[in-house]
Amino acid sequence: MNSQTNLFGLIGHPVHHSLSPEFQNKLLNLFDINAAYLAFDIEKDQFENIKTTMKTLNIKGLNVTVPYKESIIPFLDKIDDSAKRIGAVNTIENINGQLIGYNTDVLGFVKMLKELDVDLDRHKVVVLGAGGAAKAIVFALEKLGVVDIMLYNRTIENADRLLENFNFDTKQTLSLQDFQIENDMLIINTTSIGLNESESPVAINKNVINTVLIDIIYNPFETKLIKDAKDHGIYAVNGLPMLIYQGIESFVIWHKEISNPFYYYDNLYDDILRKLVD
């Protein structure tokens, strides 16, 4: 590091569990870019200073995580069309003092779903949560041609508000406490409840067939929700692939001179997986 080193980072609260610095710095090293990526835990009463801080310190780019993906928008100078439609931003680019917002969660989730080879036509699609991550995933599901969706959230009004901006043939919003697992479901947990290893957003209390569960939390590697699902014979995965895919897309936005960092995905995934398991 020297006086020419550019700074990138992650903002959120909490961020101690994040592996973004691990693989973002690995990518920077792979491409011999003079930059560093750090994680910044921003308390809510300090969040309003983020625009001034980013411009003053000339931070070139930030990822945004819980709970700021929606509340960051008023502080930006511009957001791209997808992020505007979603109403959530997870990536910021600083171009000569102009802060531009994007949402790379969409691409991250689409790539992950395609990697899992889930047949959306054979599953009832269920999303848990109605925050910034849920907005991106609902947008991705719409792009993938899903026609029917069920959204469970603690506050049904927030779920209603989220779905009113999307075009599905059937849209149902229900309370998390009313969730009942069934056969042929694709369940996507977007809540942060599983960050505490003893908590789960919903109960998995019976065996079902042809049901797949995705918990976008990746640290802990197996949340209580995933463990409960596996105990009942359900195929369940965490959000590590989505994290890496969306992070690589952020890297592409910040470093447009790099043609194809996705080439490094397998090694990045294996390295971070080893760190999580260890």
Catalytic hit among 60, 69, 111, 171:
69
Query: DSSP assignment of 64-118, as one string?
Result: E-TT-TTTTGGG-SEE-HHHHHHT---EEEEETTEEEEE--HHHHHHHHHHHHT-
Burial of residue 8 (number of CB atoms within 10 Å: 0-12, 13-18, 19+): buried
The single-letter DSSP state of residue 253 is H
- Which tokens belong to 274? 């080893």
* CA–CA dist 112, 264 (Å, integer): 15
* CA–CA dist 86, 264 (Å, integer): 29
Beta-strand pair 98-102/185-189: unpaired
The single-letter DSSP state of residue 128 is E
The single-letter DSSP state of residue 37 is E
Contact 28/20 with Cβ under 8 angstroms? no
Catalytic residue at 69?
A: yes
CA 235 to chain centre: 20
Task: State whether residue 147 is helix, strand or coil.
Answer: coil
Cα dihedral 101, 104, 107, 111 in deg (nearest 10): 170
Residues labelled catalytic: 69
